[in-house]
Structure 1
Amino acid sequence: MAKNSLEDLHEIRRGVASGQSREESRRTQRWRKPEDSRFKANFDATYDAKRQKMGAGIIVIGRNGDVMASMAIPIYHVTSPFIAESYAIWKTIDMCTRLGFREVVLEGDAKVVINIVNTKEEDES
């Protein structure tokens, strides 16, 4: 199941509002182990519209905090941030499947993409 990292962002913002610098607030964020899973895969993408290029980063962490796998990939001829984030979550799922990781919690900040992944209805658009 994909999980939205907005909760973490809100915690960081609350810390900043209480007088902590953004950097101090980020440092107080701690990795949380997956609740009912063996692995947590975090992913993110960045998009350069001028160059039609994206970069994606993926890290898979085990229950004890060990890095099980990671990947950084550049992709060219990308036409939107939505496509960049969609590609990042797809590569995350693909990597976990190929490596045999089951019961993986996916975590990223692409709310629209995560909501689509979590929808049980088929999108026919």
Structure 2
Amino acid sequence: MGRCLSRCLVGTGLLLAASLGAGFSAGALGDQHWEALHGDVRRGDVVPLETILDWLDAHYIGEVLEVEVERENGYIEYEIKLLGPQNQVVAFEFDGQSGRLMSIEGVRIDDMRRP
């Protein structure tokens, strides 16, 4: 599977539109929320998704299945689900402002860690 995270995400058309979290529902809330998110990234208030994907790619083996972006009370969180080499699904949650990994949930997570 190798270095597939960023390329697979873009190659499969999942870029942020894969699954929209609270506050970013495309149909119900419109483009203004996407514009606000892009503005937050441009100002440096939110870490770009690419930075998070690069970190994941450097530390874990897997293919991106889903990306969710949630905004609650001004707080941004990224949740990224990866498919591991043993077909395990692992969810990674990141703080959108700092880029810090907050939690990992799934099975056989150690089998996905890069040496």
Q: TM-score, normalised by structure 1?
A: 0.28
Q: Highest Rg: 1 or 2? A: 1
Q: TM-score, normalised by structure 2?
A: 0.30
Higher RCO (C-alpha 8 Å, min separation 6): 1
